[in-house]
A and B are shown apart, each in its own frame.
Chain A
Amino acid sequence: MALTHPTRGNLRPVYVTGLGLISAAGADVGAAWAQIASGQPVVKPVARFDIRGCECQVAAQVNDNDLLPAPLRARWPRFVRLGHTALDAALIQAELRGGENRCLDPTLPLWCSTTGGGTEYGETCVVNARAGQRSGIIASSMRYQARYLPHALQETYGLRGAAVTLSNACASGADLIGTAANLVASGRVERIAAGGAESLSTLLFHGFSCLRALSPTTCRPFSVSRDGLWLGEGAAFVILESEAEVIRRKVTPLAQLAGYGQATDLHHIAHPHPEGIALKQALEQALAQAGVAPEEVAYVNTHGTATPANDEAEGKAYERVFGGHLPRIALSSIKNITGHTLGAAGAIEAVLTIEALRRAAPLPAALLPDPIPNLAASLARSREVRAHGRAFVSTNSGFGGANAALVFLPA
């Protein structure tokens, strides 16, 4: 097999050979795609913890009761359970999963992202310790740690490579995948499993609720009358490989990860600069690294939280980067279906953007009576059956001014 993409400077091409995903929209990539295409929200009332007094009472929650044997369900924090499901699917698609849960490449580095980690265990640890309870404190604190995700998954699959955890708030997943791709592109590593996982918790729900970031009505990304986000949970993984490995293993690449950009917005810890300056920088960097002109972009899977500040600033960034080409580029946010999955969002949205690339079709935006005027044509274009252009892009932004963009090209 010959792959034809030229190298980008000193960087080698990087291919995606496996995808795995679980979210409230579906327990695999195909199911999630169908749910998003249907436009039907999947949020349900939150019953797992007490949210009395919060204006919003719903979230996009995963039913993971049937996903794992009971002993593992009891032992692992929820974010690890979700991460395991997604990683398993990615390994299977990449033809790296052997029998009895073993990975055929035992040295595979495992890179993970999350914001809260096993927050429910951290909460238990604090409450029990305050009550004077001594037993279980160490175990709870271990399972709370963000690093528990790669460590538990390494143990499960018998992996003996590096275990890495990145936490750049809601851009974590995209930053992690982009950084992993750059390491593979540098020629120092041949293959990395990279992805993110997030589960809902008391702390996270009350945090977004007290900021009045949750919608008391309906999550409507890029609507003029938008009033907030819905939280969600889930996980996604990609397997990134060098061209040499793709050829050696004779696997079929799903896409090329051609560009990654990152920038920090210093305007405010929780609010983007109103002109979307850092997202613009990240997007321009990613397009430049990919060697893609703005007019070659077919689709952007946006961050699109549906908070008043985010969507306005994000729209400004797209106007600045794409200029007059913007109306011809399809834009959509899937957070009205998947919910905002925080540290997993970048990974989930990257996986679905790759799936969109494979189908040569954008993920459709929700039908809005009042889209932001300058984005209306792009949102409408996302509901067309075919995308026009070679590059598919996914962007994310987060607290701490994190902004990231990934550019995918056909393999």
Chain B
Amino acid sequence: MQFNFNIAGIGAVSPAGLGLGSLLDGSVPRRQNWPVLAPSAPTVAAGCVDPTLPCWARWRQIPRLRRVGSQTLFLLEAVDEAIRRANLPADATIGLSVAFGNGVLTLTRKFYEGVVRAGIDGANPAWFPETVFNAPLNHTLGALGRTGPSSAWVGDATALAQAWVNAALWLEQGNVDAVVVAAAEEVDEAMMEVSLRAGWFRPTSKVFPAEGAVAFVLTRDGPAQTQGNFHIHSGLPWRRLTDAPAALAEVLADFDPAWPMYAGPMPPPGPAREAWKQRPARSDWPAPWPYLGEAHSVAAGWTLARILANAPKEKFAVVLPLWGAGHQVAALGWESLQSCVTR
């Protein structure tokens, strides 16, 4: 699927820090030990956003944000940065199309554990409405004083592709002045438990869960940091590891064969390695960037932000495969007329 639009601003929150610049300056991600659900298990380290940064206290001064989970604040901070960079008019109508993996996990778990502990007396009415996937979208638009449609797309990293499709449709159909495509995740004990049981914390494993957010402002026209044709393949499933390269080949068949695929440094053995072998990869961009952790669509968004920020000023093209943890692969492709992303 092909769409035409500008990227007018990018924002990011990650274990490497706040802002797009922190994704690009080689900052090593902050690791923090977290408990898991099992009572006797040791804590394990996730890639975590620094909770002591002053921006979090500043956001929490807004009454509607007093009770929200960290994911909402990450999303808000990234969207705010992207909108500021895009310099959108104060009265611009903005759509918000966000991809989530786990949603507002901490408040959901706490709400349920309250019910397990004390039945209806343990059910906190302030937390329950915050457990829906789209609650952070409402808070973000409300805190920024913006109006427009909003949608929460749920899934592995391929949900980011769907969030882009939705955003591009909104722009194309003219209901909004701009759209923010975003993604957000938060680390929680339940997420850490599942990661532990999946073997992520074995000494030989190189992966760890992470949290943060990323946001891109899309406009039809006006000043752009990057403008051009965006191609999106919103995904195909694969069942066995051996099927993954064929699935990727099918996805890539939708893109101009001359476009290189972004792969970064050689991926670990598995479907991504097989894909990396299939297609010429751009190796002239700064790499390896510090690995920031696994965060579904957020991690894919961090990579996309790094690619766009490091793209050459002249016309360029690239395809970014999105490998989903749920055995799906999608891809975002970009044929740019110019790039002038400000760090």
Interface residues of A (CB under 8 A from B): 10-11, 50-54, 109, 115, 122-123, 125-127, 129-130, 132, 134, 137-138, 141, 145-147, 151, 154-155, 159-169, 175, 179, 182-183, 186, 188-189, 202-203, 206-212, 262-266, 269-270, 285, 398-402
14 CB-based A-B contacts, threshold 8 Å: A130-B38, A132-B39, A132-B40, A147-B156, A151-B237, A151-B328, A163-B237, A167-B132, A168-B150, A186-B169, A211-B129, A263-B148, A264-B138, A264-B149
- Chain B window 146-165, contacts with chain A (Cβ cutoff 8 Å), 1 for yes, 0 for no: 01111111111011001001
B129 touches A269 (CB 8 A): yes
Interface residues of B (CB under 8 A from A): 1, 36-40, 64, 96, 100, 103, 108-109, 111-113, 115-116, 119-121, 123-125, 128-135, 137-139, 141-142, 147-156, 158-159, 162, 165-166, 169, 172-173, 175, 190, 193-194, 197-198, 234-237, 239, 326-328, 330
A164 touches B239 (CB 8 A): no
Identity of the chain A residue whose Cβ is nearest the Cβ of B149 in the assembled complex: A262
Identity of the chain B residue whose Cβ is nearest the Cβ of A211 in the assembled complex: B125
A266 touches B111 (CB 8 A): no
B169 touches A162 (CB 8 A): no
B239 touches A269 (CB 8 A): no
Known: A129-B38, A269-B129, A400-B134. A166 touches B112 (CB 8 A): no
B151 to chain A, nearest CB (A): 6
Known: A134-B38, A160-B237, A179-B169. A264 touches B137 (CB 8 A): yes
B132 touches A398 (CB 8 A): yes
B132 touches A162 (CB 8 A): no
Interface residue from A50, A168, A209, A211 paired with B152 (Cβ < 8 Å): A168
Name 17 extra pairs, CB < 8 A, besides A141-B194, A207-B111, A262-B151: A109-B234, A122-B112, A129-B193, A134-B197, A138-B194, A151-B326, A154-B237, A163-B235, A163-B237, A168-B152, A169-B134, A203-B111, A210-B120, A266-B141, A266-B147, A269-B64, A399-B134
B138 touches A210 (CB 8 A): no
List residues of chain B with CB within 8 A of the CB of A159.
237
Interface residue from A115, A123, A129, A160 paired with B112 (Cβ < 8 Å): A123
List residues of chain A with CB within 8 A of the CB of B38.
129-130, 132, 134
B138 touches A401 (CB 8 A): yes
B154 touches A168 (CB 8 A): no
List residues of chain A with CB within 8 A of the CB of B328.
151, 163
B116 touches A183 (CB 8 A): no
A145 touches B326 (CB 8 A): yes
Instruction: Decide if the interface of chain A is mainly helix, strand, loop or mixed.
Output: mixed
List residues of chain B with CB within 8 A of the CB of A161.
236
A206 touches B151 (CB 8 A): no
B162 touches A211 (CB 8 A): no
Docked complex Cα distance between A285 and B149 (Å): 11
Docked complex Cα distance between A169 and B150 (Å): 11
Interface residue from A154, A182, A202 paired with B115 (Cβ < 8 Å): A202
A165 touches B154 (CB 8 A): yes
B293 to chain A, nearest CB (A): 18
A155 touches B134 (CB 8 A): no
Known: A203-B112, A269-B139. A188 touches B1 (CB 8 A): yes
List residues of chain B with CB within 8 A of the CB of A141.
190, 194
A344 to chain B, nearest CB (A): 14
Interface residue from A10, A145, A266, A399 paired with B129 (Cβ < 8 Å): A399
Docked complex Cα distance between A127 and B129 (Å): 22
Known: A151-B237, A210-B125, A285-B175. A167 touches B147 (CB 8 A): no
Known: A52-B119, A126-B37. A182 touches B173 (CB 8 A): yes
Docked complex Cα distance between A264 and B236 (Å): 31
B153 touches A126 (CB 8 A): no
B150 to chain A, nearest CB (A): 5
List residues of chain B with CB within 8 A of the CB of A270.
129
Identity of the chain A residue whose Cβ is nearest the Cβ of B155 in the assembled complex: A147
List residues of chain A with CB within 8 A of the CB of B116.
126-127
A190 to chain B, nearest CB (A): 12
B65 to chain A, nearest CB (A): 11
B169 touches A50 (CB 8 A): no
List residues of chain B with CB within 8 A of the CB of A262.
149, 151
A402 touches B150 (CB 8 A): yes
Interface-central residue, A141, A270, A400, by most chain B CB under 10 Å: A400
A207 touches B166 (CB 8 A): no
B237 touches A266 (CB 8 A): no
Interface residue from B37, B112, B147, B169 paired with A183 (Cβ < 8 Å): B169
Docked complex Cα distance between A400 and B120 (Å): 23
List residues of chain B with CB within 8 A of the CB of A211.
125, 128-129
Identity of the chain A residue whose Cβ is nearest the Cβ of B198 in the assembled complex: A138
List residues of chain B with CB within 8 A of the CB of A399.
129, 132, 134-135
A103 to chain B, nearest CB (A): 13
Q: Which 7 A-B pairs have the closest CB atoms?
A: A400-B134, A129-B37, A210-B123, A167-B133, A207-B128, A270-B129, A53-B120
B115 touches A166 (CB 8 A): no
Identity of the chain B residue whose Cβ is nearest the Cβ of A167 in the assembled complex: B133
Identity of the chain B residue whose Cβ is nearest the Cβ of A266 in the assembled complex: B142
B94 to chain A, nearest CB (A): 10
B203 to chain A, nearest CB (A): 19
Interface residue from B131, B132, B155 paired with A164 (Cβ < 8 Å): B155
